[in-house]
Amino acid sequence: MNWMQRLFPILHYRTLAERERATLIYVMLSLMIVLFIFYGFTAYDWFIPGQDASGTLIQVLPYRPETWVYFLLPLVMALVSLGLVRAGKMAWVLWAPPTMFYLLACLPSVISPEGFDTPSRVASLTVLILIAGLVGNELGIVAGLLVAALTLVLDSGTLAGNAIFVALLELLATALAAYLYVRFATVNRNEGELEATQERLKLAEITSRITRAAAQRDPMQDVLNLAIQLILEKYPQFYHAQVFLIDDNKVQARLVASSGAAGQALLAREHTLAVGSLSVIGQVTLSGMPVIEEAGVPNSRHRFNDLLPDTRLEAAFPLRTENDIIGALDLQSRLTVALTETDQSAFQALADSLSLVIDNVRQFENARLRIHENQRLADQARNALREVERLNKRLIGRAWSDYLRGSLRQPGLNVDFEHDVIENDNRWTPTLADAAQSGQLVQVKNVVAMPLRVRGQVVGAMEFELPEGMEFEPEDIELVQEIGDRFGLTAENTRLVEESQRIARREAMINEVSSRLQVANNVEATMTEAARSLREVLQAHRVVIRLGTPQRPSKEG
């Protein structure tokens, strides 16, 4: 902020008109303070009593004490008004500039013995009306006219009647001209504000509808088609609209949405333009700045298109995200219309809104693709896990079947704590069988049976029985299930230990047999030692060994 803005702040005023009026009041009051001080030292308009002469305001202060009020009042009023404007209270001091001017230019004419004999004195009242109109609009003009007319009538002793009438007509004409000017400026400003509001409403409606379409997760193509349709509806000066998007390689701008039959034909051609090419789209996508070109003029960057021969003006605006140019919005008109800076700003704002929607739709579609891919991978992982679990169950089931077949009898145990009896028993009670076959907990009165699982595979069952009259509580059932799970893990660990021991014994036996065979010094001794070792290992009654291969029978038999 520079020293002027610090000395005369206006930023706390809300509208541009208020800031301009505050600046005007600052300038007028400051200038009038300077002029008033200059007037006090240079203008010989004041009569000096007893000397039959006139002097300046400063010279008459010692002779006429009442002039001190006239000298100090404008200065104090101007300084207080400046302070109020700085404080944001401009509405309180709209009367200050015309009052200051009246005290500076009009009142001395009244005080002067010459009265209103000269046209410049009448002109000061005209300026008073204009100043009042500048700061107070229509109301200020009326107030200034009344004060000027009253001043003229009260001090008309030196003017003829027709001169007063002419002067009043001049003041009235000035007031009327000022009123008409202020009225025209107000209407013009209101029309400009109305047009700006309508433009904002157009942009807001287009942006709102395409944003709503994107929020409803409509496909990208539908959103772009809706955007160009709305643009043509709201801006009839254009007859064709289309959207280009730059490909991933940043080399070509591809047409992705276009209006009318010509647009469909261009889409069918898969119309593209190179980024940076000598075309409107090529230059926009390269520079990131709007390009507006007339057709048929020398050095025009507009490219003639046989499907759009009526184009006389082409305007393209870049589609930009935060750090990148993603495409261009292309508008074409049959008329050579002039696009003002306001129009260009409006269309660029529309292009920026469309860019944001396109970026959001792209991000959503990419996220949806990633979700689908992640879902596919998750389904594959789940299927693979289920397959692993199925194979694991199958292997565990086969391992336990082999383990139980290898036992002399199927393991089973009954424990009667009431009579302190422990016995081996492989018979299945109905509840045990039901639990093992269904894989679910089975409860019949005071008896609970539950399956024993190892990694999901049922390998047995366990049954608990309470004395008559007692029932299992929910926490007892949870305890039983926890014990069953722990038992299954422990049983599996035991089986694996036994399996490891069995494999170790087998490896030791094989190594022992191999060492025996290596001691023999001829084939017959090796065969004899092999037969003896196999007999010991397998408990076989007879071992037969042959070397060579049998002869095949001949065709004759």
What is the tens place of the pLDDT at every residue in 215-229? 777 788 888 888 888
- pLDDT category of residue 161 using cuts at 50, 70 and 90: low
Are 96 and 77 spatial neighbours (Cβ–Cβ below 8 Å)?
yes
- Tell me, what's the pLDDT at 140? 82
Spatial distance between the Cα atoms of 444 and 538, rounded to a whole number of angstroms: 48
Which of residues 47 and 344 earns the better pLDDT score?
344
In percent, the amount of the chain with pLDDT more than 90 equals: 11
Spatial distance between the Cα atoms of 20 and 12, rounded to a whole number of angstroms: 12
Range list of β-strands (E), 265-350: 272-274, 291-294, 313-320, 325-333
Are 240 and 262 spatial neighbours (Cβ–Cβ below 8 Å)?
yes
Hunting for tokens 């393209």 — which residue is that? Answer: 316
Hunting for tokens 């504000």 — which residue is that? Answer: 193
Are 237 and 312 spatial neighbours (Cβ–Cβ below 8 Å)?
no
User: Which tokens go with 259?
Assistant: 């209006």
Tell me: pLDDT of 73 over 80: yes
Q: How far apart are the first and last CA of the chain?
A: 122
Spatial distance between the Cα atoms of 500 and 106, rounded to a whole number of angstroms: 123
- Tell me, what's the pLDDT at 241? 92
pTM of the model: 0.48
Q: Which of 77-81, 341-345, 391-395, 402-406 has the lowest mean pLDDT?
A: 402-406
What is the tens place of the pLDDT at every residue in 275-285? 999 999 999 99
Helix (H) or strand (E) holding 329: strand 325-333
Return the closest-CA partner of residue 317 out of 303, 331, 302, 336. 331
Range list of β-strands (E), 240-320: 240-246, 252-258, 272-274, 291-294, 313-320
Three-state DSSP at 64 gives coil
- pLDDT category of residue 1 using cuts at 50, 70 and 90: very low
Cα distances from 515 to residues 510, 533, 538, in angstroms, run: 9, 11, 18
Using left for φ > 0, alpha for ψ between -120 and 50, and beta otherwise, residue 461 falls in beta
Burial of 175 (C-beta count, 10 Å sphere; 0-12/13-18/19+): buried
- Tell me, what's the pLDDT at 508? 77
- Tell me, what's the pLDDT at 112? 54
Are 193 and 201 spatial neighbours (Cβ–Cβ below 8 Å)?
no
* Chain mean position to CA 206: 18
- Tell me, what's the pLDDT at 507? 80
Count CA atoms within 13 Å of residue 498 on its CB side: 13
In percent, the amount of the chain with pLDDT more than 70 equals: 84
What is the tens place of the pLDDT at every residue in 431-480? 878 877 787 777 777 777 878 777 777 777 777 777 776 777 777 777 77
Counts for the chain of helices (H) and strands (E), in that order: 15, 13
CB atoms near residue 519 (< 10 Å): 9
What is the tens place of the pLDDT at every residue in 497-543? 777 877 787 787 777 777 767 776 777 777 777 777 777 666 667 77
Spatial distance between the Cα atoms of 266 and 280, rounded to a whole number of angstroms: 16
Average pLDDT estimate for 23-47: 82
Average pLDDT estimate for 367-390: 85
Return the closest-CA partner of residue 516 out of 535, 502, 530. 530
Domains of the chain, each with CATH number or no CATH: 3-192 (no CATH), 220-362 (3.30.450.40), 413-513 (3.30.450.40)
Are 223 and 208 spatial neighbours (Cβ–Cβ below 8 Å)?
no
CA 19, 23, 28 angle in degrees (round to 5)?
150
- Classify strands 413-416 and 252-258 as parallel, antiparallel or unpaired: unpaired
